[in-house]
Structure formats: structure tokens, C-alpha cells
Chain A
Amino acid sequence: MSIAALCSDRVLLNDWHVIADLTNLSAHEPFQTRLLGVDLTVYCRGRYNKEVVRNDTGALVNATKRYGFLWACLGKPERDIVFVPEAEEEDRYLLTGGSIAVKVSGLRTVENFLDMGHFPFVHTGWLGEEPHTEVAPYKVELTAADELVATECKFYQPVASPTAKEGFVVDYIYKVIRPYTVALYKSNPVQKERLDVITLFVQPVDEENCVAHPFLCYLKDGSDEAGIRNFMQLIFAQDKPILENQLPRRLPLDPRAETPIRADAVAVLYRRWLRDKSVTYGAIPARM
């Protein structure tokens, strides 16, 4: 592991982050992980059968379970874990999608998740294919809840989901909920008026490493759990080598650092939104 810088961003220190899929934790072996540069050990013991301990000080860290994940907050939790309304709907599978470690800043992982332009090239034959490469203009706005929402996103996808039988133009909505949390709503291929939801909780391991923890709320109609997880991992593992070859590994927030195009509107606003929130961890701050 790289030498980890510690985080001083309050907005991150005082927020909840996923640190493990509960199914990956064993009753016998403590689980080692890292959050915001702090090494942590997870023990299956104590009153709630999960204890998270800082390796440096031995102190207990705030921890709780939700959506099939173990969550931790290094500071004082200032707000609750992100609420996923679709998780209350009974006709959906609620699945952890398979946590995968990626050697890049979590902010880069969020930004990649927001990008449709790469679909035909990285997810060829699944989420896109040539010659359908154009990203049509879409809307992006900052909501009253301080979330970034991109709507009217449309993209032709040959195999849009585990149950898709043919290509179709898929409607997408993206929502950036927290600096390291992003959600995607996309048309279900069976019930086209309803949306499947993938919420990606990204664990900032350190500034240049993250774990992507997808939480899947998929309509049960016509699908099965293994197929849904398989599809999620197939797609994410296509992104992984691309992400791991991005340089610099941290996300540059300076508007002059990289050259965006119209299709990157949501990424441009995401970077600005991070600047406005003074998020620096995992980023290369803008020059003054």
C-alpha cells in the first residue's frame, strides 16, 4: 500500500462510508481495510457483532450496518447514511453488487460512472457500439437538496442490462449524492416505464485507491440475483483497467487541467461542486 496522506476534509471525515460488504466478513478472521488513509480492522464481535478499530490508536470507530454493507465514520456523523427510496419497494432485489478495489482516486471512479461517452469503446457490445457514439445533449442541475442531477440522458445500448433481449435507446438519470456517492437510474427492459437503480458507494481508501461498492435495486421481474451481479461485475471490470491507467490518479479540479467537451457537462459540474464543498481528498486542488 502507498503511504497514505490523512484526510482533513470535514465533509468526508464526518460522513459515513461503506468499508465492507457484510458477506465478505468472516466470523473467524478479522478483516483489514483502510478509509481516508486510516488503517482499520473489522472484528465480528461486540454488542452488534461488528467492531471497527483504528490500527493507529486502537480506538473504536463509529460503525453501523445498512443495505448489506458495513459503514464507518471516522469523525462525528453529521448526517445520516444516504437514503435509497427504491430499497423500500418489495418487488426489487436488493443486492450488494460485489465490491471491487481500484487503484485510482474514488473521485475518478465517480466521474467515470457519470460518463456516457466511453460506452461504445469500453463496453463495446453491451452499453454501446459504433457507430452509435454520440452523446446527445442532456440537462444537469444542482437541486435544492444539494445533489447534482443529470436528466434526459439517452443512449443506444445493445445489451443494457442482465435481462435485455435486444438493443434499445435507454433513458438514464444520474445523481451525485455525496462526493463519493453516485446513483444511476436506467429503464428496466421488461417494465420500460420503471427504473432500475444502481447506487455506487465509493470507499476512499486513500487518495489514489478506492473500493467501489455497488448497491443494486433491480426489479425482480424476469431477472435473477446471480445474473444481476454477473452483469454489474462484467461492466465494472471493463472500466477497471481504464481507471487504473488514468493519470494523474487523483482528480484534477482545476478547470484548466483537462479539456472537457459538451458530453462532459455533468463531470464539469461535479468538479466545480467538489471545489465548492472544499473536497480535496483524492483531488488535485485548483490553483488559486
Chain B
Amino acid sequence: MITLYDYELSGNCYKLRLLMGMLGIEWKTVPVDFYPGREHKSDWFLKINPLGQLPVIDDDGLILRDAQAILVYLASKYDASGSWYPRDNPALLGEISQWLAFADGITGTASAARLHDALFYDFDVEAARAGAHRLFRILDEHLWFGEQEGRSWICSAAQPTIADIACFPYIMLSEEGGIPRQDYPAIRRWCDRVKRIKGFSVMSGVFPAGPAKAA
């Protein structure tokens, strides 16, 4: 069974819980005392991940770090439909990788602002917020044009991909870092679509969507 080294309030850990829930994978959790215990910098954890970062999974002895990398692995191995990470579609894989990197940019900005505001991290919060708004503007436009073409998800596919999962958590949690989403209506509509994917689960700070309006 998969073991997830987990911290409840981490959006990067939540990405994996989210996808595993949607894929119907069972896993067990090892809670890591990230805050205030800084257990991710402890000797035992650094042996698992020398970068001292969460999340990490252990799947039958295969140890993997980095949320985006683990999403690739989980979807490749456990998604029988092949839609979350379509290995036979090079163009789509390129798109997915592009947005996985974008998700890292969201972590570096929106997540940093949240850590500053809630957990006292010594970051330049104004720079983090400005960076997040820049990314949100780009994504909002991308989603808006997509909607005009009948596309519901970040990548050019009829189904959601791991790019949607990778971008979702720190966008949803952005208000905790003082980054409101009023000005990003296409992002807000996309968030509701993600919340309505079968198997969706919440984390603290993320609330479920109501049922969709009948078309």
C-alpha cells in the first residue's frame, strides 16, 4: 500500500490526497510534524528526502518526492482510463508539463504569501502576492479563452488532467495569503468544476461546491 508522508495544511500534500481519492487508491498516512515541530528537517526525514520537503510517498519501496513528480507517477501507474496523464499523446504531455511547472510558480508565490500571513514565515509578502496575481491573470485568461472554445480544463483535453490537480490547491487557499480571486471569474468557475470531479475531497480551508446548475 502507498504510504504518504503528509502534513494536513500543505497544499502540495493535498494534491496527492486529491488525486488518490479521485483514482480510488487506498493509502495510509504518516503525519509529519511540519509545524511547529519542523520534523521535515529532522534526521529521520532527511534520510527519506534530503531536500527536507513534503510530500513524499513510499509505494512498495519506491520512494518519490515532489508533488508534481508524484502526480505523474500515480496517474501513470494507477489511472486505468489513461486520461489524467495520457502517455500516448505527446502534445498533451507537453502541455501538462508546462502547467505542472506553472503550478510550482503558484507554490512559490501564493503559497509563500499564505505561509507568511498564517505561519510567520519571513518572506517578502508583497512580492509573493504580486507574483501570484501575475500568474492568476495568465491562468484566468487561458481558462476564459478555453471556455470560449468549449474547453473546461487547463489542458486541451476533454477530461481533467494532473495539471488541474497541481494548480488547484494553492489557488483555492490564496485568500489566506491576502490574494482575493474576485478579479478572476474564469478561475472561480474552473475551481467549481474541479470540486465537482467524482471523488473530490476537501482539506482544511477548502469547502465543497454546491451542485451545478442544470444546463
Using a CB–CB cutoff of 8 Å, the interface residues on chain A facing chain B are 21, 23-24, 29, 31, 33, 96, 98-103, 225-227, 229-230, 233-238, 240-241, 244
Are the CB atoms of B33 and A23 closer together than 8 Å? no
Q: Chain B 1-32, CB within 8 Å of chain A: the 1/0 string?
A: 00000011100000000000000000000011
Q: Which of A100, A229, A230, A235 contacts B118 (CB 8 A)?
A: A100
Are the CB atoms of A230 and B175 closer together than 8 Å? no
- B122 touches A (CB below 8 Å): yes
Residues of A contacting B204 in the complex (Cβ-Cβ under 8 angstroms): 233-238, 240
What's the least CB distance linking A159 to chain B, in Å?
A: 13
Contacts A225-B33, A241-B175 supplied; 14 other A-B pairs, CB < 8 Å: A24-B120, A31-B120, A96-B36, A102-B118, A226-B32, A226-B33, A226-B37, A230-B7, A230-B33, A233-B9, A234-B204, A235-B204, A238-B205, A240-B118
A230 to B119, CA, bound (A): 14
Nearest A-chain residue to B121, judged by Cβ = A24
Nearest B-chain residue to A122, judged by Cβ = B207
Q: Which of A99, A102, A240, A241 contacts B120 (CB 8 A)?
A: A99
Known: A100-B118, A226-B39. A240 touches B176 (CB 8 A): yes
User: What are the 10 tightest A-B residue pairs by CB atom distance, in nearest-first order?
Assistant: A237-B204, A226-B33, A230-B31, A226-B31, A234-B8, A23-B36, A238-B204, A98-B35, A21-B36, A230-B8
Q: Which of A100, A103, A241 contacts B119 (CB 8 A)?
A: A100
- B198 touches A (CB below 8 Å): no
B162-215 at interface with A (beta carbon < 8 Å): 175-176, 204-205, 207
Residues of A contacting B117 in the complex (Cβ-Cβ under 8 angstroms): 101, 103
**Chief secondary structure at chain A's binding surface:** helix
What's the least CB distance linking B154 to chain A, in Å?
A: 24
- B38 touches A (CB below 8 Å): yes
A-B contact pairs, 13 of them (CB 8 A): A33-B120, A100-B118, A101-B118, A101-B119, A229-B33, A230-B7, A233-B8, A233-B9, A234-B8, A240-B204, A240-B205, A241-B176, A244-B176
A23 to B38, CA, bound (A): 9
Nearest B-chain residue to A239, judged by Cβ = B204
Known: A21-B36, A240-B118. A227 touches B31 (CB 8 A): yes
Nearest A-chain residue to B33, judged by Cβ = A226
Using a CB–CB cutoff of 8 Å, the interface residues on chain B facing chain A are 7-9, 31-33, 35-39, 117-120, 122, 175-176, 204-205, 207
Residues of A contacting B7 in the complex (Cβ-Cβ under 8 angstroms): 230
A227 to B28, CA, bound (A): 13
Nearest B-chain residue to A126, judged by Cβ = B204
Q: Which of A31, A33, A102, A225 contacts B37 (CB 8 A)?
A: A225
Residues of B contacting A100 in the complex (Cβ-Cβ under 8 angstroms): 118-119
Residues of A contacting B9 in the complex (Cβ-Cβ under 8 angstroms): 233-234, 237
What's the least CB distance linking A99 to chain B, in Å?
A: 7
Known: A23-B37, A23-B38, A244-B175. A101 touches B8 (CB 8 A): no
What's the least CB distance linking A24 to chain B, in Å?
A: 6
A154 to B204, CA, bound (A): 24
Q: Which of A29, A33, A233, A235 contacts B35 (CB 8 A)?
A: A233
Are the CB atoms of B205 and A241 closer together than 8 Å? yes
Residues of B contacting A33 in the complex (Cβ-Cβ under 8 angstroms): 120
Residues of A contacting B122 in the complex (Cβ-Cβ under 8 angstroms): 29
Report which residue of A33, A101, A103, A229 has the largest number of chain B beta carbons within 10 angstroms of its beta carbon: A229
A229 to B8, CA, bound (A): 10
A260 to B105, CA, bound (A): 45
Nearest A-chain residue to B208, judged by Cβ = A124
Nearest A-chain residue to B201, judged by Cβ = A125
